Chain A
Amino acid sequence: MASTEIVHAHAAPQGFIRKYVFSLDHKVIGLQYYFLALIAVFVGMGLSLLMRIHLIWPTASLPIFGDIKPETYLMFVTMHGTIMVFFVLTTAPQGGFGNYFLPIQIGAPDMAFPTLNMLSFWTTFVAFVVLIAAFFVGAPLHGWTGYAPLSAVPSSGPGEGLGADLWITSIALFCAASLMGALNFITTTLDMRAKGMSMMRMPLTCWAWFITAILGLLAFGVLAAGGILLLMDRNLGTSFFVPGGLNFTGQTSFPPGGFSPSTDLVKHNGGSPLLWQHLFWFFGHPEVYIAIVPGMGVASQLLSTFSRKPIFGYRAMVYAMLAIGILGFVVWGHHMFMSGMSPYSAFAFSIMTMAIGVPSAIKTFNWIGTIYKGRVRFHTPMLFAIGFVSLFVSGGLSGPFLAQPVLDIPLHDTAYVPGHFHLIMGVAAIFGIFAATYYWFPKMFGHMMNETLGRWHFFITLVGTYSIFMPMHYLGMAGQPRRYSQLTEVAYLHPLIPLNRFMTYAAIVTIAGQFIFLFNLFWSMAKGRKAADNPWEATTLEWTTATPPPHDNFGGRTPVVNHGPYEYSVPGAPRDYVMQNDPATAPVH
């Protein structure tokens, strides 16, 4: 805490490049992350639309891509997943809002390492460019999980050559960027809190970003290692993930010149395909919490603010997030129940996974308990926070099915799984991002977003996403496997096509609804009603400073914190909220 003045030695830059491009200001970097995620989410969403259209009109030509071959569809699958998980769900909540608001909410003038922060963003940006480049050389078809040997042997299919190398390189770069970001978030949270901002007075958003950073620090290093080993298997002749004796004659249409055992028989020996899965999911499971935990923080913050009531069980919320984070590292094997892993370890992973349901349930109860006997104001950010809770419940409760190995026998790798994870780590996390956008937009841009458009956006998105992803559970139960580019080849899938058609229509409407948001976002920046410094009558420190905040966040002041983060409707207080830096003479809790 003592070193804040030294750290923030850099003065406000004047030139365009230093101010908006290679900026050291966490607020500018936060916006850079946010707009990168915004571009990424529209690319990822566009790919999902192409997939949904191809599934129900398999012979139709699509814009840009023309006739869709099976490998083109799988390229959409890979790129959609990779873009969404890394460049949207990891980038926006943590890199975007975390960067912008963590320092302000704890009363710091900037992040602990501004240069590292800048480097972290630009590495993420390069990673994104490298990933998009894969489109132009033929993107890989191995899905975002990149299971070896499919991902490790170039002759396993189209896109598994240079495209796969670019894909892995992009992920390795992203890992490096995330490690830099994680170090910065952890140091900032531990060292740069204002006077009086004890850990247990931090807003739950800060706790969420802090815990997410720890998860990132421990998880991304493992993925980076796995990615580098995979690159070596592909290019340097090592055999970490590829066993001996593989033969790819099955490809009738690939490679173009036909297969020849003398040259194409894979020259590997002794590798283990399961090793990749262990490394990948050791990262991959914490990753889903990296995507959702910031949303939990935002939901907590908003439910309390707009219910005008303290958060129900602040300590329990903190401990629940910590428990989710810790347990998140010992459950990766639940992705591998059908992989050939020991059935005994499946049993252990299953128990741990069910245990995660407990802190998740605590959070849900406490969110509902926060609304109970409150005074709910229905501003758009609150609508999305309520939607978050609903989606978290729906997506969460399909978890205990998948967590039981015996139920995983019928459900694993069916549409049930994307139904589950889209609701909880896709749509719920996106609702967290939307809630955060509507909530903090006034502080970031000095204008209010339009409420009418916001409500339309909310209802279309809520009903639309439920209409897309709830049916996926039914399809999965009926046995529709994931990642099928057509449903015409397997007879028992034919009766499922009408439901798939309904989902595609729902997707078209939902995606159209997102343009309402896009319009609202940019229109409001210019034309939105001018925002006051504290339009939501909220309590945390970002609402005590100017709108938008000055370069050093508090205009030369250093805030002193006297209260907890969610003091609403305090009996005897002059107004229905006590801000964190209000004088200690106000009723204290």
Chain B
Amino acid sequence: MGLALLAIIWLITFLSTYFFVAKTWWLPVGASAAAPWIDHQFALTYVLMGIVFVAAQGSLGLFVWQYRDRGSASQVHYSHGNTTLEALWTVLTGVLFIGLNLMGSSVWASERFEPAGPGAVPVEASGLQFAWYFRYPGADGKYGRTKPELVDASAGGEAAVGLDTGDAASKDDVVSGTMYLPVNREVDLALRAQDVIHSLFIPAMRFKQDAVPGLIIHMHFKPIQTGDYEIACAELCGLGHYKMHGMLKVVSQEEFDKWLASKEAEKQ
């Protein structure tokens, strides 16, 4: 029985570790400025936790086999513990866990403590059951007024976010179901939700943030690779949660300008 336990525990440990090391399933390829930093902290945590994991499971499996009851041949070492050892591993795990945390905190600070820098592209993301809409403020740099009573999701576009066309600032607002961003420029993202909580999740950008009714939450990230990236909803928002997805198209600055201009032209 001891050998069977040893074999099973070690096998589980080996297989679990193998799929992490082989990266059979892994974070998607990162395409934002913060991705390398986040991935580095992830890898560091993973290596340290992996060592503890293998050591703990390995010794558990080994000891249950090694110290199995072999009748009179087994000698129990009568002991109530070892204070020195206990103090040692308390300090070690304390240093390990707190240290790891502090190492990751600078990345967190750069992502969340400071607002977007000057020159960032302003975009507003609105979540509603069950779609994302993205609004660009246009040449005036101001988002027009929205009103909940004007919202008509089935109409899509401007009506879906309840844009008040009577407001002068709304004249040049562009609303799109697809998010367009220029590459290598930071985005100043304003998140809103019109009904329940949603969460804008763009795995390749290493970006996730809840959109909360009643709040406008400003976030920023910087795409560094052109391409199409899927957007999902990560917060349970109702029956259509699983199909509330969208697309982020990261394009060159010229393409972005061209796209925005064509949307403005459509509007006029």
Of the four ranges (under 10, 10 to 19, 20 to 34, 35 or more), the interface on chain B belongs to: 35 or more
A65 contacts the other chain (Cβ, under 8 Å)? no
In the complex, chain A residues 140-194 whose Cβ is within 8 Å of any chain B Cβ: 141-143, 147, 149-150, 153, 156-158
User: What are the residues of chain B within 8 A of A470 when measuring CB–CB?
Assistant: 12, 15-16
Q: Which of A1-9, A101-109, A385-393, A554-562 contacts B (4 or more CB under 8 A)?
A: A385-393
Once the chains are docked, how many angstroms separate the CA of A358 from the CA of B88? 11
Of the four ranges (under 10, 10 to 19, 20 to 34, 35 or more), the interface on chain A belongs to: 35 or more
User: What are the residues of chain B within 8 A of A496 when measuring CB–CB?
Assistant: 25
Is A414 in contact with B207, judged by CB distance below 8 angstroms? Answer: no
User: What are the residues of chain A within 8 A of B111 when measuring CB–CB?
Assistant: 406, 409
- With contacts A69-B239, A483-B241 known, is A272 near B214, CB below 8 A? yes
Is B81 in contact with A369, judged by CB distance below 8 angstroms? Answer: yes
Is B9 in contact with A390, judged by CB distance below 8 angstroms? Answer: yes
B170 contacts the other chain (Cβ, under 8 Å)? no
A308 contacts the other chain (Cβ, under 8 Å)? yes
- With contacts A376-B68, A459-B8 known, is A273 near B213, CB below 8 A? yes
Question: In the complex, what's the smallest C-beta–C-beta distance from B267 to chain A, in angstroms?
Answer: 22
User: What are the residues of chain A within 8 A of B232 when measuring CB–CB?
Assistant: 479, 481, 490
Query: Looking at the complex, which one of A253, A312, A364, A410 makes contact with B206 (CB distance below 8 Å)?
Result: A410
Once the chains are docked, how many angstroms separate the CA of A243 from the CA of B195? 10
- The total of Cβ contacts below 8 Å across the A-B interface reads 356
A71 contacts the other chain (Cβ, under 8 Å)? yes
Is B245 in contact with A389, judged by CB distance below 8 angstroms? Answer: no
- With contacts A355-B98, A376-B2, A466-B16 known, is A141 near B239, CB below 8 A? yes
- With contacts A358-B97, A365-B86, A474-B19 known, is A386 near B108, CB below 8 A? no
Which chain B residue lies CB-closest to A145? B236
Interface residues as binary, A387-402 with B (CB distance below 8 Å gives 1, 0 otherwise): 0011001100110110
A252 contacts the other chain (Cβ, under 8 Å)? yes
User: What are the residues of chain A within 8 A of B98 when measuring CB–CB?
Assistant: 351, 354-355
Is A378 in contact with B210, judged by CB distance below 8 angstroms? Answer: no
Q: Which of A91-99, A118-126, A339-347 contacts B (4 or more CB under 8 A)?
A: A339-347
Which chain B residue lies CB-closest to A308? B76
User: What are the residues of chain A within 8 A of B238 when measuring CB–CB?
Assistant: 74, 141, 150, 156-157, 251
Query: Looking at the complex, which one of B5, B27, B81, B207 makes contact with A386 (CB distance below 8 Å)?
Result: B5
User: What are the residues of chain B within 8 A of A490 when measuring CB–CB?
Assistant: 230, 232, 242-243, 245
In the complex, chain A residues 359-414 whose Cβ is within 8 Å of any chain B Cβ: 361-362, 364-366, 368-369, 371-378, 383, 386, 389-390, 393-394, 397-398, 400-401, 403-407, 409-410, 412-414
23 A-B contacts (beta carbon < 8 Å): A77-B236, A249-B153, A250-B131, A273-B197, A310-B78, A343-B109, A366-B86, A375-B76, A376-B68, A378-B69, A386-B5, A393-B53, A394-B16, A410-B206, A412-B234, A413-B208, A459-B4, A459-B8, A470-B16, A481-B233, A483-B236, A486-B243, A489-B242
**What residues of chain A have their CB less than 8 Å away from a CB belonging to chain B?**
69-71, 74, 77, 141-143, 147, 149-150, 153, 156-158, 242-254, 261, 265, 271-274, 307-314, 316, 338-340, 343-344, 346-347, 350-351, 354-355, 357-358, 361-362, 364-366, 368-369, 371-378, 383, 386, 389-390, 393-394, 397-398, 400-401, 403-407, 409-410, 412-414, 455, 459, 462-463, 466, 470-471, 474-475, 477-479, 481-487, 489-492, 496, 499, 568-571, 576, 589
- Given A340-B209, A358-B94, A569-B78; 12 other pairs, CB 8 A cutoff: A70-B241, A157-B129, A247-B195, A250-B131, A261-B151, A309-B76, A338-B208, A357-B97, A376-B63, A397-B53, A400-B101, A479-B201
Q: Which 7 A-B pairs have the closest CB atoms?
A: A243-B214, A250-B129, A313-B81, A343-B112, A474-B25, A373-B77, A569-B76
